[in-house]
């Protein structure tokens, strides 16, 4: 019996270790899925932040023109400022997309039967990501003190119980870098939520005056229209949806940081990934709806233009 036990023990240990490794591989896939939800949500929200900034700037130009003439040079300077801002937002979008690509490449490395070839791909994505991150750090959106605190607050991360030497080597090489990038993303989203809020308040001020204040002061709010007036007032006084969504994305960045730490230490679970995906699902649904509406509006405008110009006539 002792001989049989000695023969079975190594096999049992191998089965246990293989089971743990298999779970670890699925964890990388689950983490990559959560990372994809995060990157899609953030890149979409950044586009909306940019549009809100241009809208607010346009309102500012119109207000200035109503008070005094605006010179061509002033108008061109406003254009330049907006182009520079949109370019910086684009850099953050590129960084965010590359971050998602890195997570997917890690999952590929974890599941690959030929890890050496995938290790090269991961390293290539990581190198590009680090380079773009340095460009993001130089943007006006980034606050230098926040960057310093972000860079100094992620030490002590430990990689353990990882199957595959290539994967373990990559995680040890990049564990702090990715943690710092996720921390930077959190800081950037916090700044963008403040900017989006300021832009929305500025843009909504005109609507609030015309739809809420003026009707009230002129006695136009009647029993028949007061519910609509009250709803409009509540909506314009509430936090803009975009601001709430960007704040949620910042919280998701924090959750992704925590998930990354757990992934390294073999404490990550599918529930961690699901929590991030669930938190971001309403944002992704909202962005999809908004995209459909914009496409519909664009198609409608194109049809109207074609009809007006008569280009569709034989």
| pLDDT tens across the length of the chain (314 residues) | 445 444 444 444 343 444 444 446 788 899 999 999 999 999 999 999 999 999 999 888 887 776 777 788 887 888 999 999 999 999 999 999 999 999 999 998 888 776 777 788 899 999 999 999 999 999 999 864 465 555 555 566 666 656 678 888 888 899 999 999 999 999 999 999 999 999 998 888 888 888 889 888 888 989 999 899 999 899 889 889 999 999 999 999 999 999 999 998 888 999 999 999 999 999 999 999 988 888 777 666 555 555 555 554 44
Within 10 angstroms of residue 155's Cβ, the number of other Cβ atoms is 9
Q: Which residue has the tokens 């023969």?
A: 7
Whether residue 42 contacts residue 185, with contact meaning beta carbons closer than 8 Å, is answered with yes
- The answer to whether 184 and 137 are in contact (CB under 8 A) is yes
Under 8 Å CB-to-CB from 139, ≥6 apart: which residues?
88, 91, 92
Residue ranges per structural domain of the chain: 17-265
């Amino acid at each position: 019996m002792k001989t049989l036990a000695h023969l079975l023990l190594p096999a049992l240990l191998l089965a246990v270790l293989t089971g743990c490794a298999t779970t670890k591989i699925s964890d990388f896939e689950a983490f990559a899925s959560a990372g994809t939800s995060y990157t899609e949500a953030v890149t979409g929200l950044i586009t909306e932040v940019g549009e809100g900034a241009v809208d607010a700037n346009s309102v500012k130009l119109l207000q200035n023109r109503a008070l005094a003439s605006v010179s061509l040079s002033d108008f061109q300077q406003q254009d330049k400022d907006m182009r520079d801002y949109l370019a910086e937002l684009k850099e953050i979008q590129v960084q965010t997309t590359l971050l998602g690509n890195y997570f997917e490449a890690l999952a590929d490395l974890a599941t690959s039967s030929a890890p050496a070839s995938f290790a090269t791909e991961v390293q290539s994505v990581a190198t590009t990501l680090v380079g773009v991150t340095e460009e993001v750090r130089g943007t006006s959106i980034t606050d230098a003190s926040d960057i310093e605190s972000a860079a100094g607050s992620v030490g002590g991360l430990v990689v353990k119980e990882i199957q595959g030497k290539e994967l373990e080597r990559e995680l040890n090489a990049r564990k702090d870098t990715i943690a710092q990038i996720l921390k930077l993303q959190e800081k950037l989203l916090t700044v963008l939520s403040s900017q989006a809020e300021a832009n929305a308040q500025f843009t909504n001020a005109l609507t609030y005056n015309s739809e809420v204040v003026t009707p009230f002061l002129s006695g136009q709010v009647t029993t028949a229209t007061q519910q609509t007036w009250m709803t409009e007032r509540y909506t314009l006084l509430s936090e803009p949806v975009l601001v709430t969504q960007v704040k949620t994305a910042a919280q998701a960045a924090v959750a992704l940081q925590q998930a990354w730490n757990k992934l390294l230490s073999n404490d990550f679970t599918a529930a961690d990934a699901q929590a991030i995906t669930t938190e971001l699902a309403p944002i992704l649904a909202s962005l999809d709806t908004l995209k459909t509406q914009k496409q519909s509006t664009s198609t409608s405008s194109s049809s109207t233009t074609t009809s007006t110009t008569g280009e569709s006539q034989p």
